[in-house]
Structure 1
Amino acid sequence: MNATPAERVAEALRDDLAAHGVRLPDVRADLTDPRQPRLELGTIPLGTGFALLRVLTDYQRLLKAERRRRS
């Protein structure tokens, strides 16, 4: 079975953070509404929160740019 875009983002996020020494195994895609998939995060260590926020903001910018490019 092919991974959905939300599942690919969750995997990429997990891999990117792991490359920087941050291990977040509990990142997954919530696909209950296929039109509005969500990323779910488990417990995040306090020191990781700001770095994670920055990475998620970057992903959000990339996603918006990709949507504009496709339009």
Structure 2
Amino acid sequence: MKRYIAFLISFILLYMFFEVISGSVLTALYTPDLYLVSNSLNGEVLFARPSSFFFLGILFIATLAYFFSQKLFREPSK
């Protein structure tokens, strides 16, 4: 069980690191279309709601991968 918890914690930290780095890169490389910006000067801003569904799905898949890897690569008992 300790190995599973260590796996989950490292997975969560790596996932969050990847999200921050990819978000930073995407933000740095974003170039807005000035034509679209000039047409919508009403000041209305829409934000998408963050969803934890994708994170929970990835966490579930990682859990399955961990258990399958433990079952497949288990050393034969002596």
> Would you tell me which structure has more strand in proportion to its own residues?
1
Between structure 1 and structure 2, the one with the greater Rg is 2
> Would you tell me which structure has more helix in proportion to its own residues?
2
TM-score (norm 2): 0.44
